[in-house]
Amino acid sequence: MKIAFYYRNKDAERKCREFSEQFDSCEIITGVDNLDNLKNFDAVTVFGGDGTVLEVAPFAAKYDLPVLCVNQGNLGFLSELKDNPSPSDAKAILEQNNISEKMLLSVKIKGEEYLALNEVVLKSDISKPVYISAKINGEFFDEYRADGIIVCTPTGSTAYALSAGGPIISPEVDAFSIIPVCPHSLHSRPLVVPSADGITLSGIRKEDKICAIVDGRFVAEIDGNCTVSVSKSQYKVKFFTDVQNCFFKKLRAKMNRWGVTKD
């Protein structure tokens, strides 16, 4: 199996090079501009935090490459290896060949399609709230006056959406969540919908300038007349997972950085 080792900053470079010395068939790739080279590999190991994984995810999905994450960042919800792992730890998980799949969002804006593992966010490009209309399967659902609105996957439900008051969604649940950010209305609350639904978000006021952000990356500025379509992508991201590291165990460990529950 030919494996790509990917990192994007100096903090992760040392660990990446350390691991590469212990693998016979691997090649180091760095920089967003080189991610298209993943098409020449069978798998990819990512050294970094969740942001680095989000960077790699659309390419891994398109080229059907399973991903192994070695956490070199902060929280590392998407990582299987943490706490100074060794190359043998990585080899053990690769040999298990236990694969899980995570859905992606297809986000269409101004004729362009973007893939998101976590979420798409529409928010004001200034400090004022924006006015956004939401339709589900073409049927009007609500109008939001808020600092922004998030549409997330189950994977993204433990990221920005969680900070905005959204629910944690188990990865086995085939659904999206729609979360208003600091809404100026008591009735505006998070909503969970089946992933088969199509979500359409539109600006209401022409003078509003709205930023579209996909997995933390700014992709477009839209005005009040623009429409953003969100649906389930045909692609999925495959991840190597440790059979002993289930979602709820990982969730408890991550959340307990600020809690008191004991294992």
For residue range 118-164, what is the model confidence (pLDDT) as tens digits?
A: 999 999 888 889 999 999 999 999 999 999 999 999 999 999 999 99
Give the contacts of 63 (CB within 8 A, at least 6 positions apart). Answer: 38, 39, 41
* Domain ranges in the chain with CATH number 2.60.200.30: 104-234
Place of tokens 């808020």: 146
How far apart are the C-alpha atoms of 37 and 4, rounded to whole Å? 9
8 Å CB contact between 176 and 199: yes
**pLDDT value at residue 139:** 97
Both structure tokens of 164: 């905005």
21's tokens: 């010395």
Residue 15: pLDDT above 80? yes
Residues 6+ apart with CB under 8 A from 150: 119, 120, 121, 156, 160, 161, 164, 166, 177, 178, 179, 180, 181
* Mean pLDDT across 223-232: 90
Instruction: Identify the pLDDT of residue 150.
Output: 98
Give catalytic status of residue 24 as yes or no: no
CA-wise closest residue to 102 among 25, 158, 183: 158
- For domain 3-98+241-255, which architecture applies? 3-Layer(aba) Sandwich (3.40)
* Cα distance between residue 173 and residue 184, in whole Å: 29
Q: Which residue has the higher pLDDT, 72 or 193?
A: 193
Which pLDDT does position 257 carry in this prediction? Answer: 64
The ranges of the chain annotated as CATH 3.40.50.10330 are: 3-98+241-255
Q: Which CATH number fits domain 104-234: 3.20.20.70, 1.10.10.10, 2.60.200.30, 1.20.140.10?
A: 2.60.200.30
> What's the rounded Cα separation, in Å, for the pair 180 and 55?
25
Q: In Å, how far are 151, 176, 210, 213 from 123, measured between CA atoms? A: 12, 18, 5, 8
CA distances from 74 to 51, 71, 257 (A): 10, 8, 11
Residue 201 confidence (pLDDT):
97
Which of 105-119, 132-146, 153-167, 216-230 has the lowest average pLDDT? 216-230
Distance of CA 138 to the CA centre of its chain: 26
Is residue 251 pLDDT above 90, yes or no? no
Q: What is the mean pLDDT of residues 54-79?
A: 91
Q: What is the pLDDT of residue 72?
A: 87
The pLDDT of residue 212? 96
Q: Given 50, 142, 208, 215, which residue is catalytic?
A: 50
Beta strands in 35-147 (DSSP E): 43-48, 67-71, 99-109, 112-116, 119-124, 130-136, 139-146
Q: What is the mean pLDDT of residues 171-200?
A: 95
At residue 259, does pLDDT exceed 70? no
